[in-house]
Amino acid sequence: MDERTILTRLRRTAAHPAARGLVDDVALLDGLVITHDSIAEGVHYRPEDPPHSVGWKLMAVNLSDLAAKGAAPVGALLSLTLSGDSDWEEHFLDGIEAAAEQFGMPLIGGDTIALPDGAPRVLGLTAIGRASAATPGRNGATAKDALWLIGTVGDSTAGLAILQQDAKAAGLLVDAYRRPIPLLAAGQAIAPHSHASMDVSDGLLLDASRMADASQCGLEMDLASVPLSSAFVAERGTDVAARLFACTGGDDYALLAALPPELDPFTLPLPSGTTMARVGTFTSAHAGLALRFGDRKVPLPESLGHEHRGHIASPMGDRP
């Protein structure tokens, strides 16, 4: 079953208002923002990745969903699969502990199961946050709203490409792939002013188009305005090919916000050093996604990002 078929089927059961129609990355229940993400060995992390970084990543990707909604971390439930490698599991839990301490997310429970020998690990975490005054969905953008990107894109997929060439590689891009940073404080500043918001997990173009589709809007994006890190530019450059690579790679955990066109988000109480840029404008309904690079139109790439069979973009998980 593909994603659309699965979601259509699940909506029969997930009829509670907290599910928000399964068109968002989180559920909203009695003032709590709730999300669940899983990561699988060989899909979301490499078998050679340090287990400490895998634990960190599992916590961080869930916190990123809370960040997109402006929620404050409250607690987490861990689903841990045991493979008999106690050293791996010990270091994995060190990573969970480090991220939990850094971002103020206490672990409050979960479950453990044993795996058959040789089975790849699939690790899950449910993150719970306290909702702010407003919890924007991904479906509230309106025509003429500005699409803002908070953070940069491309670092993680560039880091993965480096590791595919050299499993022992290190550096800023590899760190971005293995240890993403959830933008909690920036999300808390911007979400109350957003008509729609979500994090970028499957690729900027794909996730931005999902926001537009959910909002029944079109979207025009300028690749030239997409912020790139200096490490990415040094590795890949800034031409159209490099920017399409950055915008379709995924695993970024930047934030997207649809903001009123008259709002200057730089006037908000953002953390020092926040990287942010207006990357597009929402247009009339059913106009689709249109790309340009400055004044030049750019054809849509064959793939906008990571969208795999069985992927569910909902509170039940928003990674491929």
Q: What is the pLDDT of residues 138-161, one digit of tens each?
A: 999 999 999 999 999 999 999 999
Q: What is the pLDDT of residues 51-75, one digit of tens each?
A: 999 999 999 999 999 999 999 999 9
On average, the pLDDT of the chain sits at: 92
CATH of 3-130 among 1.10.3720.10, 3.30.1330.10, 3.40.1190.20, 1.10.510.10: 3.30.1330.10
Mean pLDDT within 238-265: 97
Determine the pLDDT at residue 158.
Answer: 98
Asked whether the whole model's pTM tops 0.85, one would answer: yes
Tokens 């989180």, residue located:
26
Q: For residue 174, give both structure tokens.
A: 């590899």
Q: What is the pLDDT of residues 171-208, one digit of tens each?
A: 999 999 999 999 999 999 999 999 999 999 999 999 99
| pLDDT higher than 80, residue 2 | no
| pLDDT higher than 80, residue 3 | no
CATH numeric code, 146-298: 3.90.650.10
3-state helix, strand, coil in the chain (%, to 5): 35, 25, 40
Determine the pLDDT at residue 313.
Answer: 38
Mean pLDDT within 202-228: 96
Mean pLDDT within 65-88: 95
Determine contact, residues 44/177, Cβ cutoff 8 Å.
Answer: no
**With pLDDT > 70 as the criterion, what percentage of the chain qualifies?**
93
Cα dihedral 208, 126, 66, 184, rounded to 10, equals -120
Q: For residue 110, give both structure tokens.
A: 């979960």
> Which residues have C-beta within 8 Å of that of residue 281, sequence separation ≥ 6?
144, 145, 146, 147, 219, 220, 261
Domain segments of the chain as ranges: 3-130, 146-298
Mean pLDDT within 103-117: 95
Other C-beta atoms closer than 10 Å to the C-beta of 120 total 12
Mean pLDDT within 233-242: 98
Q: Which residue has the higher pLDDT, 132 or 124?
A: 124
Q: What is the pLDDT of residues 284-309, one digit of tens each?
A: 977 899 999 999 999 999 999 987 55
| pLDDT higher than 80, residue 252 | yes
Determine the pLDDT at residue 318.
Answer: 46
Mean pLDDT within 116-121: 89
Mean pLDDT within 25-41: 94
Residue from 254, 209, 202 nearest 228 by CA: 254
Determine contact, residues 259/141, Cβ cutoff 8 Å.
Answer: no
The angle at the Cα of 223, spanning 69 to 226, to the nearest 5 degrees, equals 45
**With pLDDT > 90 as the criterion, what percentage of the chain qualifies?**
82
Confidence tier at 37 by pLDDT (50, 70, 90) = very high
| pLDDT higher than 70, residue 211 | yes
Determine the pLDDT at residue 111.
Answer: 96
Q: Are strands 196-200 and 107-114 parallel, antiparallel or unpaired?
A: unpaired
Mean pLDDT within 122-136: 95
Determine the pLDDT at residue 310.
Answer: 44
Confidence tier at 316 by pLDDT (50, 70, 90) = very low
Q: For residue 151, give both structure tokens.
A: 């953070």
- Residue 295 DSSP class: T
Q: Which amino acid is at 118?
A: G
Determine the pLDDT at residue 1.
Answer: 64
